[in-house]
Amino acid sequence: MKFTFYHNNINVLDLDKSLAFYREALGLEEVRRVEKPDFTLVYLGDGTTPHSLELTWLRGRTEPYNLGENEFHLAFHVDDYAAAHEKHKEMGCICFENEAMGIYFIADPDGYWLEIVPADRD
């Protein structure tokens, strides 16, 4: 028996705002959508890997999600770290930098942290 990664899920409060953020900040594009009476699922892909990010939007929800201590994150390799850092700085979404490790984090509209790592690092 072998398991492989398929997708990660996060719940979002404003689907349009989140879609715009993930498109602008990370270049992720919608690859699939599931509409149900009470919720919408939108799967985002990077166009390179088969892994996707599933955004779940619950109709009628108005309260922000409790992310606890937000001790989890998704990580993205980027081929031009300096350009990505400048773009995210201009967007105002950098929430933490670790210069010693050569990484930084951005926060999406719901407060989820996303790690940005140079592609030449493991």
Q: How does pLDDT run along the chain (122 residues), one tens digit per residue?
A: 887 889 999 999 999 999 999 999 999 999 999 999 999 999 999 999 999 999 999 999 999 999 998 888 999 999 999 999 999 999 999 999 999 999 999 999 999 999 999 998 76
The hierarchical CATH code for the domain 7-59+73-118 is 3.10.180.10
Residue 116 contacts residue 104 (beta carbons within 8 Å): yes
Rounded CA-CA distance 24/40 in Å is 21
Residue 94 contacts residue 84 (beta carbons within 8 Å): no
Report the largest interatomic distance among the alpha carbons of the chain, rounded to a whole angstrom: 48
Rounded CA-CA distance 2/86 in Å is 40
Residue 60 contacts residue 43 (beta carbons within 8 Å): no
Residue 116 contacts residue 88 (beta carbons within 8 Å): yes
| 3-state secondary structure at position 18 | helix
pLDDT at position 72: 87
